[in-house]
Structure 1
Amino acid sequence: MESNYHTLKRTDNQLLVITHLSQLLTYATVFGGIIAPLILWATQKEQVEGMDAHGKAILNFQISLIVYSLISIPLIFALGLGILILILVAILAFVMPIVNAIKASNGELPSYPLSINFVS
């Protein structure tokens, strides 16, 4: 028997804020900044309105930061360019989760600059 029952997603801006801020776990643990948002996104994307879009944006941003960091390592030997990239990555990794947590609390969609679209 087919069911026409559709699960209604709940609005939970606080959880979206926590998901964005969980990226800051990178500063306490090496991969906590990608694992915690991944778990929150994977478990809540069907229940929370907007979690799918926010989670994908976060994962794309975190993966992009890893790629930029890996690219910058050999560039350290090219006139120190890699050091500048690492500094930019560190600033973005700290500031953008906070900016997007504020956006999420206001019901806005996230915006992460220089983010490559890995998860769509």
Structure 2
Amino acid sequence: MLTYASQEKNWAIFCHLGGFAGYIIPFGNIIVPLVLWLIKRDESPFVNQHGKEALNFNISFIIYAFISGLLCLILIGFALLAVLVILQIVFIINASMCASRGEYYHYPLTIRLIS
């Protein structure tokens, strides 16, 4: 098993935790991981992989949230939005823990837009 420097792990963790910025800044869940990934993608394959994964996940969840918002017109969207928030929190924490252990993580329910 490969071991990664703690600095690489920290950058990867921050790429995932940047997804929580969307609760503070509009589209922060895409901006923060994007900036971190662009800074470190050429220096570390580990950070590159985690950054792409975090971006794909957050872009996918914005798409899902938009669709759920439209479905609020027929009331089912409110339940879907609640489920999305819970899933986002759980998946981001899980991905961050995997990055801290030096493992790769693939988010479920993710559309692979950036490869």
Normalising by the residue count of structure 1, what TM-score does the alignment of the two structures yield? 0.84
Structure showing the higher helix proportion among its residues:
2
1:74 matched to 2:93? The reply is no
Structure 1 residues 75-94: aligned runs within 5 Å? 75-78=71-74, 80-94=75-89
Q: Which runs of 5 or more residues in structure 2 are unaligned?
A: none
Percentage identity across paired residues of the two chains: 35
1:70-114, Cα deviation, whole Å (9 max, x unpaired): 111221122x21112111111122221111110001011112111
1:13 matched to 2:9? The reply is yes
1:41 counterpart letter in structure 2: W
Provide the residue aligned with 2:22 in structure 1.
26
Provide the residue aligned with 1:47 in structure 2.
43
Deviation at 1:32, TM superposition (A): 1.5
Provide the residue aligned with 1:117 in structure 2.
112
1:18-68, Cα deviation, whole Å (9 max, x unpaired): 221121111221222210110110110111231121111111111111111
The 2-side partners of 1:77 and 1:31 are apart by 23
Residues paired across the two proteins, number: 110
The 2-side partners of 1:48 and 1:18 are apart by 14
Normalising by the residue count of structure 2, what TM-score does the alignment of the two structures yield? 0.87
Q: Which runs of 5 or more residues in structure 1 are unaligned?
A: 1-9
Cα RMSD over matched residues? 1.4
